Chain A
Amino acid sequence: MEPERVLGMNRTTLIVADYGKLADQMSGSDSVTSKAAKLELEVAAHAAAAPGQNAARAKAAKSLVDVAKSNRPRLVRAHALRLIGFVGSKADAAAVAGLTKHPEIGQDAKIAIKRIQAAK
């Protein structure tokens, strides 16, 4: 399940990744499955953010915002916020702004927003 990060890997498959399903797998108790899902989330998000793929990137960011605002475990939501920092837009930053006061993932939300705001 865990993807090897190989140049030119099949982005078509990755771009249609089911972020919610991967987040659920990452939330599970099996550590091997959880880690594989975490890495697949990363690979999918970064593949969607390759130059020239604006629609895929926006869709990925929206899915990640949904994960970040869900009731999944802390580290899953924090991971989604980390990825939002890389692929998200200013609108996505605004969408997670309400999480900055969260006692567990508030710092992760702030880091994501700072990264988006610093982007040129």
Chain B
Amino acid sequence: MSNPAKSAIGFPTYVPQSAFGANDRIVYGHIGVGGMGSSHIVGDSCAALCDVDATHLANAAKRVQGKPMLTDDYRRVLDRKDIDAVTIGTPDHWHAIMAVHACMAGKDVYSEKPVCKTIEEGLAMVNAARRYKRIMQIGAQGRSNPKVAAAANYLRNGKAGDIKKVVIWHPENLSSGSGFETPSNPPAHMNWDMWLGPIPYRPYTAETVHFNFRWMMDSGAGFIRDRGNHAISCVMLLTGQDAWSSPVTVKATGKTNPNRIYDAPQSLNVTWKFRNPEWTLEWNQPGEANERLEGEWGATYYGTKDDLILTGGDGGADTEPKAIDYVPPTGGFKHEVEPDNVDVTEKHRRNWRKCIKTRELPVSDIGIQYKTIILPIIANIAYMVGRELTFDPKTNRFINDEEANRFLSDPYREPWSLKGY
């Protein structure tokens, strides 16, 4: 695999100004408008809606003023010269291709988490954003969450000392139960070939689409890469490790549900060991919440002087009073979030819109989020090959494991390519 973005994954502060002025209206195209993707629709400034499920399109169109173009092919959205920016809310296997092609077409991008499926895709996204001077925000909105910011301020100013261990707990994947659905013809309202896009053919079953694409390795790869993008994004922010650059060792064990079609492990336990500085990150699925602060999922940060709990880390989060009440010292670390009195996801979108106009890097810039998504991606690879692996973020390759390196990219079904369309 090539390493086109080796020099591009640093963190430049500014990219050049675009043609936007302070009062210019941003015209949007929305790609993938079911589920979370539907929340991003800007009803009064939308020129196009795209989804391979016509029912999603019809529902989304009701929320848009005027007559937006409706299509099941994102390339038609990117062809529109009047569209400035796109949101991407598709299943995971489309994120990278659409984001890269959008950059090539001159669009700024808000793409849902998880960032991508593979290392090659993540590098291509970073490279495209930098090369084409595009703003690319990833929907890891924990970085726009005031509670996450409070926890970051507490830890990054040393109140817990040096962080030596972080333990994430999370429920099992929602792949329990029993029964195998018989494959059938896809419903008339769904373009199944476009739903599959770059991934190998599989027959249509309702149990593997929409929310449940997450439990198939080709299209989702489980909560560790889904919510894990949120959880680990918070970990890297709170520990100050966004730019981690030394080799990390990863081991993973898990088990699928033998009585459902899903091939992502229902339970999964992962340990990453970092160097320079030395610290350990654990993903325990299932894991036990810390009794001091209950939450469906979250993490406990163990430092040399104190520990701290952060539950959640997406649109919802909570932390302990000692962090909420903490006031950073003058000149100390302070994580800023958008001040508007709106929900966290809207803060995140507003940060993106602001950056489209100022051309500053957004709070969940692709460069930061690529470094985040490396960790669940390599965990899933360690699970697949069944052995401990060491990944070097400087070369973006595993050390001394030829087979594991073959997982760093997934060749696409034709005609799809990261090189263009």
Q: Taking the nearest CB of chain B, how far is it from the CB of A3, in angstroms?
A: 9
Complex interface: chain A residues within 8 A of B254 (CB): 4-5
Residues of chain A within 8 A (CB-CB) of B406 are: 85-86, 115-116, 118-119
Q: For chain B, what secondary structure do more than half of its interface residues adopt (helix, strand, loop), or is it mixed?
A: loop
**Residues of the B chain whose Cβ atoms lie less than 8 Å from the Cβ of A115:** 406, 409, 411
Complex CA gap A2/B261 in Å reads 13
Q: A114: CB under 8 A from chain B?
A: yes
Contact B259 A114 (CB under 8 A): no
* Cross-chain contact A2 with B258 (CB below 8 angstroms): yes
**In the complex, chain A residues whose CB is within 8 Å of the CB of B384:** 5, 42, 46
Binds A, one of B84-92, B102-110, B369-377, B397-405: B397-405
Let me know if A91 is at the binding interface, CB within 8 A: no
Closest residue of chain B to A50 (Cβ to Cβ) is B387
| Residue contact B259 to A32, C-beta cutoff 8 Å | yes
Q: Is B180 interfacial (CB-CB < 8 Å)? A: yes
Tell whether B394 is near chain A: CB-to-CB under 8 Å.
no
Q: Are A114 and B411 in contact (CB under 8 A)?
A: yes
Tell me if A7 and B263 are in contact (CB < 8 A). no
Residue pairs across A and B with CB atoms within 8 Å: the count is 96
Interface residues of A in 4-46 (CB under 8 A from B): 4-9, 31-32, 35-36, 38-39, 42-43, 46
A78 interfacial by beta-carbon distance below 8 Å? yes
Check A7–B386 contact: CB distance below 8 A. Answer: yes
Contact among B200, B203, B253 with A5 in the assembled complex (CB-CB below 8 Å): B253
Interface size class of chain B, counting residues whose CB lies under 8 Å from the partner chain: 35 or more
**Is B383 interfacial (CB-CB < 8 Å)?**
yes
Q: How far is the CA of A86 from the CA of B405 in the complex (A)?
A: 9
Return the contact of B402 from the options A31, A51, A78 (Cβ within 8 A): A51
**Shortest Cβ distance from residue B93 to the other chain A in the assembled complex, whole angstroms:** 13
A13–chain B nearest beta-carbon distance, Å: 13
Asked if A96 is an interface residue, CB under 8 A from chain B, the answer is no
B253: chain A residues at CB < 8 Å are: 4-7
Q: Is the CB of B401 within 8 A of A36?
A: no
- Whether A82 is near chain B, meaning CB under 8 Å from some CB there, is yes
CA–CA, A96 to B116, complex, Å? 29
Taken together as a complex, chains A and B put the C-alpha atoms of A43 and B201 apart, in Å, by 22
Complex: chain B residue closest to A112, CB-CB:
B411
A86/B403 in contact, CB under 8 A: yes
Knowing A82-B200, A111-B200 touch, does A31 contact B180 (C-beta < 8 A)?
yes
Number of residues from A at the complex interface, CB < 8 A? 38
Chain A residues within 8 Å of B255, by CB = 2, 4-5
Q: Does B265 belong to the interface (CB within 8 Å)?
A: yes
Does chain B have a CB within 8 A of A63? Answer: no
Is A87 positioned at the interface, with any CB of B under 8 Å from its CB?
A: yes
Q: Does A49 contact B (CB under 8 A)?
A: yes
Assembled-state Cα–Cα distance A110/B253 (Å): 31
* B112-145 vs A, Cβ < 8 Å mask (1 yes, 0 no): 0000000000000000000000000000000000
Bound Cα distance from A110 to B413, whole angstroms: 8
B251 on the A face (CB < 8 A): yes
| Residue of B406, B409, B410 ringed by the most chain A CB atoms within 10 A | B406
Q: In the bound complex, do residue A46 and residue B386 qualify as a contact, i.e. CB atoms below 8 Å apart?
A: yes
In the complex, whether B360 has a CB less than 8 A from a CB of chain A is no
- Min Cβ gap B117→A in Å is 14
Query: Which residues does chain B contribute within 8 Å of A36, judged by CB atoms?
Result: 258
A92 at the interface (CB under 8 A from B): no
Q: CA A31 – CA B182 in complex, angstroms?
A: 10
| Residues of the B chain whose Cβ atoms lie less than 8 Å from the Cβ of A57 | 403
Alpha-carbon distance between A103 and B412 when the two chains are bound, in angstroms: 17
Alpha-carbon distance A84/B385, docked complex (angstroms): 14
B413 and A111 contact, CB distance less than 8 A = yes
Given A6-B253, A35-B261, A108-B200, does the pair A119, B386 have CB atoms closer than 8 Å?
Answer: no
B18–chain A nearest beta-carbon distance, Å:
35
Residue B320 interfacial (CB < 8 Å):
no
A interface, CB within 8 angstroms of B: 1-2, 4-9, 31-32, 35-36, 38-39, 42-43, 46-47, 49-51, 57, 75, 78, 82, 85-87, 107-108, 110-111, 114-116, 118-120
Among all A-B residue pairs, the 3 with the closest Cβ atoms:
A31-B180, A114-B411, A49-B403
Query: Can you name 13 A-B pairs with beta carbons within 8 Å?
Result: A2-B255, A7-B252, A35-B258, A49-B403, A50-B401, A57-B403, A107-B413, A110-B411, A111-B200, A114-B411, A115-B406, A119-B402, A119-B405
Residues on B facing A (Cβ under 8 Å)? 1, 180, 200-203, 251-256, 258-259, 261, 263, 265, 383-388, 400-403, 405-407, 409-414
Given contacts A5-B254, A111-B410, 14 further A-B contacts (CB under 8 A): A5-B255, A42-B384, A47-B386, A49-B385, A50-B385, A51-B403, A86-B403, A108-B200, A108-B201, A111-B411, A115-B406, A115-B409, A119-B405, A119-B406
